[in-house]
Amino acid sequence: MTLRVVFMGSAEFSVPALRALHQAFHVVGVVTQPDRPRGRGQKSSPTPVKAAALELGVPVKEPERVRSVEFVDELHAWAPDVIVVVAYGRILPLSVLQLPPMGCVNIHASLLPRHRGASPISAAVLEGDSVTGVTAMLMDEGLDTGDILLTRETAIAPDDTTGSLHDRLMELGGGLVVETLRRMAEGTLERLPQNHSQATITRPLAKEDGRIDWTKDAVFLDRLVRAMNPWPGAFTFLAGEAIKIWTASPVDGSGAAGTVMEVGPEGILVGTAEGLLLLKEVQAPGKKRVSAAEFARGRRLHAGDEF
């Protein structure tokens, strides 16, 4: 099937979709965000999507402004049948949304209308959802409000983090986008309007979202630790230092909120509003991640100490 596709994406999450589209259709061009300083050295680096596009030999555009007349004219010159958007990071104007005959299709990392917005994967973990997925949506001018085209689901495991779920949804999205475009071209796909009354909205995560409030219950704090992994990382304070908590699990028991109840080979048991949280893997500032037991030995941590 010959479809002229323009792909718009920036993040690592976008790459499997780009590769799948390149295999199935004619990707005439890729639009991504400009090179930015990244990593510890703040060296100017391309987005993961640009790197993949160059590897595939697909032309790349990196507009600073997607609303500019010059950029929209360049899109017209590519003459796409459809534009696919996956984690691009910019809001598209009507001039772009209305350009391709088949419209603009977005792959969103949740089962819409739940978890619209910027951080749907971490929201699904934090809120204790049992299932999530990816949604192919026909874009309109709203924030993830367009008609649903197709979805694929995956169960959320008790030990899933935002990172592990991200990787699974990323691969699901690659398969979903190809099936969506094929069925759109065949005319076998029905559009399902979203029930806006059921919508929930997520916002971009900030570092402070990872702060542990020990007056919450252990089950919630376990979800917080997993939802903030890998970024921004859940953290608590010990003697004025921010200590990151990478893995933990809720345990039956009781104890004063934030107080170390026991230190053992399995980790550090800390009291919460309800239940205990067993810290398993932690990281001190400027240090590597270590087992909580090793950390406790190095800090001479004992029952009665407080986070």
Q: What is the pLDDT of residues 119-160, one digit of tens each?
A: 999 999 999 999 999 999 999 999 999 999 999 999 999 999
Strands (DSSP E) along the chain, which ranges?
A: 4-9, 26-31, 36-38, 43-45, 60-61, 82-86, 104-108, 116-117, 131-138, 148-155, 201-202, 234-238, 241-251, 260-264, 267-271, 276-283, 290-291
Residues 137 and 149: beta-carbon distance below 8 Å: yes
Q: Which helix (H) or strand (E) holds 15?
A: helix 15-24
Distance CA 107, CA 84 (A): 8
Residues 58 and 22: beta-carbon distance below 8 Å: yes
Domains of the chain: 4-202 (3.40.50.170), 207-299 (3.10.25.10)
Q: What is the pLDDT of residues 226-265, one digit of tens each?
A: 999 999 999 999 999 999 999 999 999 999 999 999 999 9
94 pLDDT band, cuts 50/70/90, is: very high
Distance CA 4, CA 16 (A): 18
Max Cα distance, the chain (Å): 69
